[in-house]
Amino acid sequence: MLPFARVTIIGLGLIGSSIARAVRETMPTVRLTGHDASAEVREIARRLDLLDDVTDTAGAAVTDAELVILCVPVGAMGAVAAEIAADLPAEAIVSDVGSSKESVAKALREALPGAIVVPAHPVAGTEQSGPEAGFASLFHGRWCIVTPLADGDAVAAARVGEFWRRLGSNVETMAPDHHDRVLAITSHLPHLIAYTIVGTANDLAEVTESEVIKFSAGGFRDFTRIAASDPTMWRDVFLTNKEAVLEMLQRFSEDLSQLQRAIRWGDGDTLFEHFTQTRAIRRSIVDQGQDDAAADFGRKHD
């Protein structure tokens, strides 16, 4: 039995359009309705035939929904939830795909008092954005973290988990605050570092007229891929999960200082031990199927 017969997607960018495509592929009898604040995006979604119906207002999209998924930047969750409040069926479950969860849970509860809220976070994506960037297999073999509220509906949380399993995700359950600390180190801090390194390299290229960009090595190219992610989304992530990000940033700064001292004093043993540990972590990620072991990170060569 399908977990939901009628699903509404608010926000038709990379994640929202990928959900639509994945539902069409794995649960073709589910009726899909969607909305995006951008008229241009709505027209693209209609042209691509992503959904059964694309509405011009968020409220119209949710009138008969069983599951509503908010695929908008985390800073916009409260405002979008307020837009659908008057039209949301009492039995509908409201979920989301945001990368920070405590702030989202608070925003949704304030905007939708009495509604059934089950926050979630599919840990998947690319640096691309927009409805044309989505693809049905985006969630295959990736984690979706469901973060039910402490006093939430357990049956609703189970239905949301089953929905993501049908899309190919591995599902984990966490408390919202624990999710935010885990993602601060595994996702948010790496993005912050990437934005910093790419910005610094660009500054150096301009100031010294060096060939930093022209001769960028593979590691730098990987940072530029991360740093090409949607700026609105990541601005909101850092502002809404700032406590956890700042905590992890402090720890990172302390560890970086230790490596700085090791380099300054020629302490090769410390460097070798640290690099050996991090190499083992990389191997564990590959062993667990969270990345490809292909040579040169799967880059294509002529």
Residue 256 structure tokens: 């970086």
Mean predicted lDDT score pLDDT of the chain:
87
Predicted pLDDT at 125: 75
Enter the CATH code of domain 178-266.
Answer: 1.10.3660.10
pTM: 0.81
Q: Supply the DSSP symbol for 293.
A: -
Average pLDDT score over residue span 136-160: 93
Predicted pLDDT at 290: 58
Asked whether the predicted pLDDT for residue 190 surpasses 90, the reply is: no
Which pLDDT tens digit goes with each residue over 57-92?
999 999 999 999 999 998 899 999 999 999 999 999
Helices (H) and strands (E) in the chain, counts: 12, 9
pLDDT band at 301 (very low <50, low <70, confident <90, very high): very low
The residues spanned by each domain of the chain are 6-174, 178-266
Name the fold adopted by 6-174: Rossmann fold (3.40.50)
Q: Supply the DSSP symbol for 97.
A: -
Decide: 11 and 42 in contact? Cβ < 8 Å.
no
Which pLDDT tens digit goes with each residue over 85-140?
999 999 999 999 998 999 999 999 999 999 999 999 999 877 677 888 889 999 99
